[in-house]
Amino acid sequence: MGLLTEGSPLSWEETKALAEHVRQHGVEQFINLYRKLQDRTGDVLKWGDEVEYVIVKVDDKNERATVSLRANELLPKLQEKELADPQNVKSLWRPEYGGYMVEGTPGKPYGGLLAHFNIVEANMQYRRAEASALLQDGEVIMSITNFPRLGCTNFTSPPYKPTPNEGVTRSHYFPDEGIYQGHPRFKTLTSNIRLRRGEKVAINIPVFRDVNTKIPVDNSHTLEPDAAKPDCVYMDAMGFGMGCCCLQLTFQACCITEARTLYDQLAPLCPIMLALSAASPIYRGYLTDVDCRWNVISASVDCRTREERGLEPLKNNKFRIQKSRYDSIDSYLSPQNEKYNDIPIVHDQNIYKRLREGGIDHPLALHVAHLFIRDTVSLFSEKVHQDDENDTDHFENIQSTNWQTMRFKPPPPNSSIGWRVEFRPCEAQLTDFENAAYVCFVVLLTRVILSYQLNFVMPISKVDENMQRAQRRGACLNEKFWWRRDVGAPRDVAPPHSDATDEYHEMSINDIANGKEGVFPGLIPLIESYLSGMDVDADTHCSVQQYLKLIQRRAAGDIVTTASWLRAFVTNHPHYKKDSVVTEKINYDLLKTAHGIQDGSIPAPTLLGGGNVSKTNEDIPKAFTKMMSRDCS
């Protein structure tokens, strides 16, 4: 979720008055940090994943499932080992926006050994078991991107009623008690985003139109006639977006140049991975016409005023801003990729000028000046006055509330941590096997990109176009995506094109992942080419092959995405009335089945295929004691 600062949150009026103070000092802090660390090199590859989970309460007697608001009880217990021995824990636990959510990461980052790929899934299994051990009867922990009936009547345990006329959210559907209560940041953000915007956030997602679907969908267009669209599922709270779960990755690069390279090269991959990991077609108890959470979260934290959104002439605000602060990136960072920044990069010219005076090059100065068109939306009294030479909290305040597909992360001050990038688009998958597969696939791609010096960069406008296509229903199978034909792959993997007149081509996910002869070699063949020249132990080899097989088959349509599986479960349920409504009973059966798939007690051949068992092992040394073998039986 970003920077968690201890202290007393300021009111919106106090925060607003200090917005320029935070901006100016944040820029100075970045300049000072950059000067100290721009030449830092020699950091080794480290990487890690973040998986977010929902605590679900299952009531078998009444055949209901709700979210359990016990994150605040669970987290202190989950953090006991870290507090007692921070250097030797297997997992780290952090709060998330929802009072029903927790976030788990490995206790230490993984490194450059290929054998590390074989401990990812084992660590995810450990985290899930660790959290599960603290649950009450009837509770389960699930890595689902979105709870299907979030915002429906009594969707929480214990139940609370929304308060549309008071509180921080003022939602018709999402009660303030649904927000994590253990840190003031989350409620403060909720209130300040609403107050800065000048009205509640408005999320409208087109409903899936089945034969009996009612239009208007419900009475939301009468409750909020200026905000709700009759043919959409309307949501009016930050919790509908930030209450979703995702799967994220962070990479440490050897230097700032490599970090910028990874940032740029992974950006075109974001929509591809969003479509491949699609897992959230149901919102507020309705099937929708989208498969992913992205635009839901984007709208849920959209603090732009009417002026900034272009609905009124600029008078009190400086900029007309095209996107929410949660959206896809607007520019590449490496100088050689500037020519692909083909959309207007709204930025603060004074901040840009100061950054250039401070020794920051043009593309990086433009990036920071673009992030800094945003106001701070959460400030703590203890953090107003800082030492700009040694502190970075003002910089991080704005940096960490620009929630984009990629995040470029400078080293923390006085730390052994290097320059990093964060890869943020993926949706959470039901099983640890799937989450490990997606993680290992992306990490392997970073190794291939750097080793083969590949170039995936294309005009940013095409990446933006792909982001919207990626969210459409069935996008993984049915949509075409812009992709670069010649990425500079080795000629034994990709012979030169004879008719490469078009630099970019519209390709299916299958073409991009598995390749299409004469068009593109495929990401998986590129990974396999890279791995063929590496020494790898038998267990790791088998696990990685299983992971690649999952991605390969999803891309080809041999098995379905989580979103397609959820959609099929609902539409084939005997209680479904072809009206797009996911009832209490359907939701209960859906989550019971999903949990059975998660723990391996229910087979899911359409989702996972067969034989998807890795040889994951939480102990690296054991992996190296195995004899080299290619037998994956």
Mean pLDDT (10-residue bins), the chain, 633 residues: 66 96 98 95 93 98 98 98 96 98 97 94 98 98 98 98 98 98 94 97 98 98 97 98 98 97 98 98 98 98 98 96 97 98 96 98 98 96 92 96 97 93 98 98 97 97 98 98 95 71 92 95 97 92 97 98 98 98 98 97 95 81 44 44
pLDDT (0 to 100) of residue 497: 65
Domain membership of residue 576 (yes or no) is yes
- pLDDT computed for residue 498 by the predictor: 57
123 within some domain: no
Rounded to an integer, what distance in angstroms lies between the CA atom of residue 598 and that of residue 466? 30
In a domain, 468, yes or no: yes
Beta-strand relationship, 282-283 and 481-484: unpaired
Nearest to 465 by CA among 483, 487, 478: 483
Q: Please state, in angstroms and rounded to a whole number, the distance separating the CA atoms of residues 60 and 561.
A: 28
Prior bond of 490 cis (ω within 30°): no
Which tokens go with 439? 């993680």
556 found inside a domain: yes
Domain membership of residue 1 (yes or no) is: no
Do 23 and 351 form a contact (C-beta atoms < 8 A)? Answer: yes
Q: Please give the C-alpha separations between residue 42 and each of 45, 113, 254, 464, 603, in angstroms, as whole numbers.
A: 9, 16, 5, 34, 46
Number of independent structural domains in the chain = 1
| Predicted local confidence at residue 623, as pLDDT | 45
Q: Pick from 89, 152, 157: which is nearest to 123 by CA?
A: 89
Q: Which domain holds residue 439?
A: 434-629
Taken in order 86, 92, 96, 98, is the CA torsion positive or negative? negative
Classify residue 585: in a domain, yes or no.
yes
Any domain includes 510? yes
State whether residue 521 is helix, strand or coil. coil
d(CA 587, CA 181): 26
Q: Is residue 514 part of a domain?
A: yes
SS3 call for 74: helix
**pTM for the full model?**
0.96
Element (H, E) at 343: none
pLDDT score, position 616? 87
* Helix (H) or strand (E) run with residue 282 in it: strand 282-283
